[in-house]
A and B are shown apart, each in its own frame.
Chain A
Amino acid sequence: MTREYPDNVAGPHEPPPRSFVDREGRTIDVEDYREDDFEALVGMYAASDPQDRAQGIPPTEESAIREWIEDLTAEECVNVLAWHGEEVVGHAMLVPDRDGPYELAIFVLREYQDAGIGTELMEALLGAGREAGVELVWLTVERWNSPAIALYRKVGFRSSDSGSFELEMAARLTSEDEERLD
């Protein structure tokens, strides 16, 4: 299937560093990934809630997490981290596919979600990608994941195919009041 990219440029967004206070009052610093950050990044994924896995990532075993991060932080990739003090609380990445465009993913620790960190992290990553000469970026997201989809739209992503796995829908045919009459 051919992927369609929007004509309009996303943003353009500013690359890292950026620093801001999130909606919970925490000071968050967004910076480019450096080699020294490897252990802190492993630490974030090792501490993450297994139910926050999506589409098979991150891996669960620490050894697999290490291997996975090594692949992601290869020279041709773009990685941006969100820090709260000494702790990595978010990570966004661009990894080139075989044809030239880059695949994007973002991960924010559960206790740091819904605080505006994802938006800053995404913008910083797209800024860093643009600076690194990345032209086209794609991602996949589970169709139920509307907070993520809203974030992707906000920073400039548009849906690029008809999607696959169906949405689930529900309808009520009797009201709760009616049921109580029985």
Chain B
Amino acid sequence: MKVLLGIGGSEDSFRALEETIERAREAGDELTIAVVDNPESTMAVEEVRDRVAEELSAVDFDVEIQVLEGHPGSQLLEHAEREGFDRIVLGGGETSPLGKVQLGSIAEFVLLNARTSVTLVR
């Protein structure tokens, strides 16, 4: 399966990265990682990219990393459609102080608009 992981630097997006790498190795998925500019994250795109590269080399897994500029949600969708991805994977939201699930704005946009399947990693 061709899988596109979107990552913008939030905590849940790194959790999604870890799980998606693990799954891709087990299932033999063809994984691509797209770094996007998440306005809700304090990390710059380059920082996110570097950390992704670090995590990949730590587990010795070779994956293409791309940087998508512009509106993160729509760029992910466009990229997924153009390149024929089967699935988009994103962080599944953070938890509020009293335990409510809060979906990020990118996940919300992608969920409402995607034509591919979408996986949110909790």
Contact = CB atoms under 8 A, between A and B. Distances in A.
B108 A103 contact: no
Interface stretch (A22-30, A92-100, A112-120): A92-100
A97 B101 CA distance: 14
Contact of A140 (B40, B100, B108, B112): B100
Interface string B68-110: 0000000000000000000000000001111111110100100
A71 interface: yes
Given A1-B40, A164-B108, A165-B108, A140 B98 contact: no
B97 A97 contact: yes
Interface of A: 1, 54-57, 59, 68, 71-72, 93, 95-98, 102-103, 105, 140, 164-166
Given A56-B101, A95-B98, 18 more contacts: A54-B100, A55-B96, A55-B100, A55-B102, A56-B100, A57-B100, A71-B98, A71-B99, A95-B97, A97-B96, A97-B97, A102-B97, A103-B96, A164-B103, A164-B105, A164-B108, A165-B103, A165-B108
Interface of B: 40, 95-103, 105, 108, 112
